[in-house]
Structures are given as C-alpha cells and as structure tokens.
Amino acid sequence: MKKYSAFALVKEAFNNHLGWGRAWRHAQPKKRYKVIIVGAGGHGLATAYYLGKNFGIRDVAVIEKGWLGGGNTGRNTTIIRSNYLQEESAAIYEKSRSLYETLSQELNYNIMFSPRGVMMLCQTEHELRAMKRTYYANRLFGVQTEMVSPMRMKEMIPIINTDGPRYPILGGLWQPRGGTARHDAVAWGYARAISSWGADIIENCEVTGIVREASKVASIQTTKGSIDCEKLCFVVAGSSSLLAELAGFRLPLESVALQALVSEPIKPVMDCVVMANTVHGYMSQSDKGEMVIGGGADGCNNYSQRGSFQHIEETVRALIETFPIISRLRQLRQWGGIVDMTGDRSPIISKTPVENIFLNCGWGTGGFKAIPGSGWATAELVAHGNPGKLAAPFSLARFVEGRMIDESIAAAVAH
C-alpha cells in the first residue's frame, strides 16, 4: 500500500497521479473466515480494525449490503464529543474521542478530525443545573469540559443570539476537544487499513440467511454465496432487528429516520459546534463552508430514508432563533438516516442468545462520535467472547436488571 503524504502527492503530480492504487481491495468471499462482521459502516470497519490491531485477528470479512460507509456513517452531522453525564457513556465516548485525536496519523488517512470545540447551550435553569452536573462528573472522569458564561459564549460565537427572547442563554457546557471529522473518510480510512493487512471487504453482498448448528452459528448465506465463520458480529444499525430475526432472536430496538440538512456554503462564520437542546437543534460549519444542521428524529418508526418536512421546519426555526443571520442562507440538501433506538437511548454492545454471535447496535442518534471507541470495545468482546470494561455496561442484560444508562437529562433529544 502506497503511503499517503505531501511528498507522495507532489511526486505523483508529475505522474498525473496515475500511481495511486485502490484504497481498499474489492474482495470476493472466501469459503471461511474466523470472524465475519456484517455491516461495513464505521462501527463494523472499526471493529475489524481493532480486531486486527489489538488482537491480531486478521482473518476477517466485513460484508456489506450496499456500498461501504453508505449507512449512517455517511449520513450524520459529524459531531464528536464525549461530555456525557453517565459514567459508562462518558467512558466509551471519551475513549472514542481520544482515538479520533490520532486516527489520521494511525490510519495514514486524513479523516480531518478537528477539535474545534462543542458548545452545549443551557437555556433553562433546569438545563443549566443538568449541564453543571455533567461538568462536575466529566471533570472527575477525565473529560475536559468547562462551563462558560453567556458573555464569554458571545465572544467565542459572535453570531449567536444570547438574549433570547424566548429562551435566553444562561450558560454553556464547553468541550474544547470535541469537534468534527470528515465522516466518509473515517470509513474509507479504516477500510484501507484493514484491507492492506488482508481482511476482506465485500460490498454489494446481502445476508439472506443464518445457518445455526445447535446454539451456535455455523455459516451465513449471502447473495454472494454461503460463508462459514467461527464468530459472527452484527454491526448494522437500523437493520439490526432484521438480521436478529434471521438469527432467531429479537432485539429491543425501534428504527427511526433522523434528518439533517446543510445550507449552501459561505465563508467561515462559526468555528465550533453548537447544540441547543431546549429548542432542539444543532449546527456546525463544515470545512467546505456549509452550515450543517441536525435536529429531532421522525415522529414514527420507519425505514424510508426520506424523512418528513415538519421536523426540518422545527429545527430550522430553532436555529434561526439562535443564529438570526442564517435566515437568508438557503437549504441545499437534506437527507435521512435510519437509526436504531433502544429504550434508554444508549447503545448495545453485547453477547446474544446465540453463543458466537455478537452485537453492536442501538447507537440511536449518536453513533458517529462513537466509531473508534465502539470498534475498540466490540473487538474486545468478539476476541474474548466476553465484554471488557468499556462494553460491559451496554449489555442486553441491563434491560432485564433495570440498569438503564439514561442520558436524557443531559441531552433531551439531540446527540
């Protein structure tokens, strides 16, 4: 694999860039793999990567129904933060964020992680108290955050309207090392890395059946034939319920379309990410200059990646109220992603009723930021057959025991 660098780029420039090879091989399935990961989104590819990197397991296939990174990895608002309230959440999201910090160098693929900072607004006394609680919890768990005053916020984000009128801003929780990354690049970078060490990425390959022998899975049937495996891991977000059904168990998930939109590009006006939970909206500016906007999920469960307009209306209203200057910008694109939601809105990284099937799903609206940490924890689970410290709290058993990991007090809807 050719190393990426400025030097190589200049060198290739004289060769009309004809020397660059494929970022990842387009593989056809072998007869058997040690581990098959279903789902070549960020989480699935990261799982494969850390299986190889941390556990030396490289006899891995990542199979994908459509195109690599085409699910929620390519349909989110690219926000990365770890200022979560609950200890278990903060642990995995902070692991993830810290992996993001060095991911470009590690993968030799610039995923453009940019710690531009994430500001969460407090617009009611109640929200202010919840954010302070998060701040103190974060401090003890090594997540660097601080509370900022409205005045300081106005200096940091000149286009914000801090004095309401409906919900004046009372303060904010600032995570300076939160930020954004280039979402597609995360998938591509992981794909390139695992492909280089021989893991197979098989796109346009849909799982059609799961063959069980007693309490274990022996092989999977796909549109590209049957493939044997020692271990199987589902990392398919919105389609988790469907795969679980094939494997003969059920999951506590509901699938909903989550929408986002971007404006036409403009010159830089806002450097950080701003999340306004009280009014339900969040916004950042991409490197290209587009204002990237997200809000609430669709009203009813669905798998249609189109979403409904009324949610966009609500989100845009909320953001015009917060950033009055954006009113004359124009909406360029909108899209929806199918997210899988659990009852406590926290993910599942777990063993399943089938002995050698493992599961990573339920990231709801907050999956992108978790990709490296989630892959790390899932790889550990798959390699050992048991969860490590990061994954343990997110088991399926937590629902039975009542050990919910509920973040709703800190982030009413948005992630």
Binders of other proteins in range 25-44 (CB under 8 A): 25-26
Q: Are strands 118-122 and 273-276 parallel, antiparallel or unpaired?
A: parallel
What are the structure tokens assigned to 278, written together? Answer: 């009280």
What are the structure tokens assigned to 81, written together? Answer: 């933060």
Q: Which SS3 state, helix, strand or coil, does residue 222 take?
A: strand
In 36-86, alpha helices (H): 42-55
Q: Which of residues 388-407 bind other proteins (CB under 8 A)?
A: 399-404, 406
> For tokens 């795969």, what's the residue?
243
How many residues of this chain bind other proteins (CB under 8 A)? 128
Of 56, 140, 213, 215, which one interacts with other proteins (CB under 8 A)?
140
Q: Which of residues 158-217 bind other proteins (CB under 8 A)?
A: 159, 165-167, 182, 184-185, 188-189, 203
What are the structure tokens assigned to 255, written together? Answer: 């699938």
Task: List the x/- string, 318-357, binding to other proteins by CB under 8 A.
Answer: xxxx--xxxxxxxxxxxx------xx--------------
Task: List the x/- string, 57-96, binding to other proteins by CB under 8 A.
Answer: ----------xxxx---x------------x---------
Structural element, H or E, at residue 226: strand 225-234
| 109 scored as a contact of other proteins (CB under 8 A) | yes
Of 27, 115, 226, 388, which one interacts with other proteins (CB under 8 A)?
115
For the bound state, the minimum distance from the C-beta of residue 383 to other proteins, rounded and expressed in Å, comes to: 26
| 155 scored as a contact of other proteins (CB under 8 A) | no
For the bound state, the minimum distance from the C-beta of residue 32 to other proteins, rounded and expressed in Å, comes to: 25
Of 124, 149, 208, 223, which one interacts with other proteins (CB under 8 A)?
124
| 8 scored as a contact of other proteins (CB under 8 A) | yes
What per-residue string of b and e applies to 356-392 under the rule 16 or more CB within 10 Å gives b?
bbbbbbbbbbbbbbbbbbbbbbbbbbbbeeebeebbb
Distance (Å, whole) CA 235 – CA 241: 11
| Residue count of the chain | 415
- Say how many C-beta atoms besides its own lie within 10 A of residue 276's C-beta: 27
156's CB contacts (< 8 A; 6+ apart) are 117, 119, 148, 174, 272
Of 151, 301, 384, 386, which one interacts with other proteins (CB under 8 A)?
301
Of 240, 248, 234, nearest to 35 (Cα)? 234
Of 28, 54, 126, 208, which one interacts with other proteins (CB under 8 A)?
126
Q: Which is nearer to other proteins, 116 or 152 (CB)?
A: 116
Of 48, 236, 316, 411, which one interacts with other proteins (CB under 8 A)?
316
